[in-house]
Amino acid sequence: METDIYLLVEHLRGEVAEISYVLAAAAREMAGATEGRTVALLFGHDIPRLANGLDIDQVLYVEHPALAEFTSEAYLRALEGILDLGAPRAILFGHTSIGMDVASGAAIRFNYPVVSQVKQLVTDGDQLGFVSQICGGKMMVEGAVPEPTALMTLIAGGYHPEAGRNEHTPEVRRVEPPALEDLAIELVAYHEPEAGDVDITKAPLLIAVGRGLQNEGDLELVEDLASALGGAVCASRPIIDLGWLPITRLVGKSGKNVKPEIYLALGISGAPEHVEGMTDSGVIIAVNTDPDAPIFDVAQYGIDTDMLDLVEALNAQLQLAKAV
């Protein structure tokens, strides 16, 4: 029976992504049940020590210039080289731009089952179970981690990244790189987010708008409220995809993690990919017409009403206060 728990270290431009620490924390819990080791898979060029801060027992390092920047194609080939050495009980990936690109492809290539959107692992003796959060955070599903080897993509929020840190120097074992010529995917360039816009990570008060905002024109009312309160406007994904606000204003996955003193969430349902970016805010007030919206599980205060009605009422009150 396989016992080791592998995890793919996600890194970009020399920095390990926070999800990797979440994976390390989960792997440690799983390896406790299987009595195996936790092993970090590190693919890259000239970075053998990058996994040093991770709480893991061993690093399997594949070194090659073609692995300097992430592409799913090169990573899948490197993974093949790793799995030639033997199969683990599980390989953990982030449910992220990197992890999701690799995990499903690996599922087909190596014929392993894959479990998505995993939030928590459940252990019972040496038995491993998973709990995934689906339907935008509205449902949880529980099942057994398929045997003998399963691939899993983990969402943020189930394990604290701090639990996956350990300032030690794990053993690094180099694994011979596979053939990495004739690749069909090539990195051309990185583009930084546009500078010059409001830095939402610095605002003490954020007003976040989501799908509940029906018309782009109504954004002005929200901007008015933000400026009256000395805050900035940010958004969840649908508003960015509609092009109503630039991506620099996105909170959550693919966007920024924010910790303002006050977070006013307007018309935001509270999908996990948004919540992971704002859950550490001081006071969270949520406004949504759906009383079952998951955002009310995160917020301290909730209002079951249309966001625009409340924005107008707030603007009117502030006007009134100014007039006095």
Partner 1 sequence: MMNIVIPANLVPDLVEELTVDETGAALDMTWVSLILNEFDDHAIEQGILLKERVGGHVTVIVPDVEGADDVLHAAAAKGADRLVKLTGDFEAGINNHALARMFGSFLEESDPDLILTGVQAHDDLDGQVGPLLAGSLGFPYVGYVAGVVPENGSVTVRKEYPGGLIAEMNVQTPAVLGVQAADEPPRYVAISKIRQAMKTTTIEEHAAEPPEESRGPAVHRMFPPDVGERATMLEGDLDEVARQVLRILDDAGASV
Q: In this structure, what token pair is assigned to residue 120?
A: 């928590």
Sorted by sequence, the CB contacts under 8 Å of residue 321 that are 6+ apart come out as none
CB 42 within 8 A of CB 133: no
What are the DSSP calls for 100-127, one per residue?
HHHHHHHHHHHT--EEEEEEEEEEETTE
Please state, in angstroms and as integers, the Cα–Cα distance from residue 306 to each residue in 144, 219, 230, 281, following that order. Answer: 41, 14, 23, 23
State the Rg of the chain over Cα. 22
CA distances from 207 to 168, 246, 303, 307 (A): 41, 15, 15, 11
Q: Which is nearer to partner 1, 109 or 259 (CB)?
A: 109
Residue given tokens 């799995």 in the structure block: 83
At 223, the amino acid letter reads: E
**Nearest residue (CB) to partner 1, 114 versus 170:** 114
Retrieve residue 29's tokens. Answer: 């819990």
Q: Which amino acid is at 214?
A: Q
Shortest reach from residue 185's CB to partner 1, in Å: 5
* Shortest Å, Cβ 312 to partner 1: 8
Q: Give the span between the Cα atoms of 323 and 310, in whole angstroms.
A: 20
Which one, of 9, 58, 52, lies nearest residue 166 by Cα?
52
Collect all residues with Cβ–Cβ distance below 8 Å to 298 and sequence separation of at least 6.
270, 275, 278, 279, 284, 286
Q: Which is nearer to partner 1, 208 or 271 (CB)?
A: 271
Nearer to partner 1, 170 or 206 (CB): 206
Beta-carbon contacts of 186 under 8 Å, excluding residues fewer than 6 positions away, are 71
Least CB distance from residue 120 to partner 1, whole Å? 11
Which C-beta is closer to partner 1: that of 37 or that of 109? 109
| CA distance to 215, 238, 243, 251, per residue, from 246 (Å) | 16, 11, 7, 11
| Minimum CB distance to partner 1 smaller for 169 or for 305 | 305
Nearest CB to partner 1, comparing residues 85 and 187:
187
Least distance from partner 1 to the Cβ atom of residue 230, Å: 5
Nearer to partner 1, 213 or 298 (CB): 298
CB of 231: closest distance to partner 1 in angstroms? Answer: 7
CB of 44 to partner 1, least distance (A): 15
Minimum gap (Å) between residue 4 Cβ and partner 1: 20
**Shortest distance, CB of residue 169 to partner 1, whole angstroms?**
27
